[in-house]
Amino acid sequence: MTRLPATRTLTTALLGGLLALGSIAPAFAQQQDEQDRHERRDARRQQRDEDGQPKPQARNEGPRQQEARSRADAPRHEHWGDAAQQRDAQRRDAMDLQAQARQREGAAARDSAQRDAQRAREWQSRDAVPERIEARRAQDAEQARRRDDMGARVEEQRRRDAGERQALERREREQASASERAIREARAREEARDAVRDERRGDWQADRGDRHGARPGEPGRVDRDDQRRRYEQDRQRAHDWQRQEASRRAAYEQRSRELERQRRNAQYRYQQDYYRRWLAQQARWNNYRSDYYNDPYYYTPANIRYGYGGSWYYTNRYGANLLQQAVRDGYQEGFRAGRADSMDGWRFDYRGSYAWIDGSYGYGGYYVNRDTYRYYFRQGFERGYRDAYYGRYQYGYYDRRSDIGVILPAVIGAILGFSLH
């Protein structure tokens, strides 16, 4: 019975001690926390003081090492925002370093590409030299071939022109021979009539040295003074006509350049042919020596009247024959010019032809003046040009055998309108 109370006393004492310790432990823990906070505050203050003072750096450190050291010595923030900013800064620095590395790599790649391209161009230029030489040789060969072809065409054209020129000269010789025969026949008839008259008068022996001259008052003949006046007038006119050769040559060359610029090939060929025939005819006229005593034009009276431009003029049958020949020649030349313009596809323009402007084919300065001859030559030229250009033969016809246009005699009579007086 005595042991039970002692046990209760011991148990009560232990419980009391435990309660005392439980009441003291919170106070002790609170005191310990306050002491830890003070220690941490002192450590942070000391750290801030140390960070505020600059630290000595090594002399041999580079900019990157100094930057790394400064980052390592930077104050360490305890909150997460400062750490994130530090990581962002480090990431940006790493990206800058990577960008710089990529730039260096790109520059190196560009330099390498440029060097490769330069070497490729050098090799291409070296390889292209033989190709250029070969191309140059081929070009020279092609040009030589073209020159040969052009030379062959020119030679062929020359042969054709020579053949046409010979044919034209042959026809002109035939026409000239026919005219000369007509003149000789006319002279023979005149001489026969003179001989008959002289025989009837019984003074043939006295006047035989002057039977081609004209005695004053003799019917059907002009007197000696009028005959001499005609002769001197024609001779001066022929001399003036021959002196204009330089101006006609200049006009021909100018017109030729215009045709070349206009690319009127057919008209250009016709003009060359016309000028060659004109020169040949003028050479024959220059060799012609008019005979004062034997040419019937100078002693035949002017008994044929014709008119143009509002005036009347007189001539004899030899002057009338020349005017008729002017109309015929004009029609033939106009026919050729109109056919050439039609082949070139050129507009209707007979006044632009050199032959119409010149208007002297067949004229040598004798029997009629130049203006009269040109007027009637142009009358025939216009009609021949119209017939050939439009392909309708209103004033004449085309002679295929001689390749010329022939004007109708009725048209010649209508143009000249001769009347006897």
Which residues span the domain enclosing 233? Answer: 223-420
User: 109-137, pLDDT tens digit by residue?
Assistant: 898 899 888 888 888 777 667 777 888 88
pLDDT for residue 77 is more than 50: no
Are residues 191 and 282 located together in one domain of the fold? no
The pTM assigned to this predicted structure is 0.49
Reported residue count of the chain is 421
Out of 23-37, 115-129, 300-314, 371-385, least confident range: 23-37
Are residues 237 and 318 located together in one domain of the fold? yes
Map tokens 């830890």 to a residue: 36
Are residues 154 and 265 located together in one domain of the fold? no
For residue 268, tell me if it sits in a domain.
yes
Average pLDDT over residues 28-56: 65
pLDDT for residue 312 is more than 80: yes
Are residues 279 and 396 located together in one domain of the fold? yes
Are residues 126 and 265 located together in one domain of the fold? no
What backbone torsions phi and psi does residue 17 show, to the nearest 5 degrees? -65, -40
What backbone torsions phi and psi does residue 309 show, to the nearest 5 degrees? 65, 25
Domain end call among 143, 175, 208: 208
Neighbour count for residue 229 (Cβ, 10 Å): 13
For residue 278, tell me if it sits in a domain.
yes
Map tokens 């790599």 to a residue: 105
Are residues 198 and 234 located together in one domain of the fold? no
- List of residues 6+ apart from 4 with CB closer than 8 A: none
**Tokens read off for 420:** 């006897």
* pLDDT on residue 174: 67
Are residues 262 and 394 located together in one domain of the fold? yes
Percentage with pLDDT > 90 across the chain: 18
Are residues 274 and 126 located together in one domain of the fold? no
Is pLDDT larger for residue 298 or for residue 259?
259
pLDDT for residue 334 is more than 90: yes
Residue 192: pLDDT band by 50, 70, 90 thresholds?
A: low
Say how many domains are in the chain: 2
* pLDDT on residue 343: 92
- Minimal CA–CA distance to 394: which of 415, 411, 369, 373? 411
For residue 253, tell me if it sits in a domain.
yes
Is pLDDT larger for residue 48 or for residue 215?
48
**Tokens read off for 288:** 């012609």
Are residues 267 and 143 located together in one domain of the fold? no
> DSSP letter at 419?
E
Domain end call among 208, 242, 273: 208
Domain end call among 180, 208, 236: 208
For residue 42, tell me if it sits in a domain.
no
C-alpha pair distances (Å), 362 with each of 12, 50, 219, 274, 385: 175, 131, 32, 11, 18
Report yes or no: 335 and 398 within 8 Å, Cβ to Cβ: yes
Are residues 327 and 197 located together in one domain of the fold? no
pLDDT for residue 146 is more than 90: no
The alpha helices in 53-79, defined as continuous H runs, are 63-72
Report yes or no: 333 and 379 within 8 Å, Cβ to Cβ: no
For residue 79, tell me if it sits in a domain.
no
* pLDDT on residue 375: 94
Residue 295: pLDDT band by 50, 70, 90 thresholds?
A: confident
* pLDDT on residue 323: 93
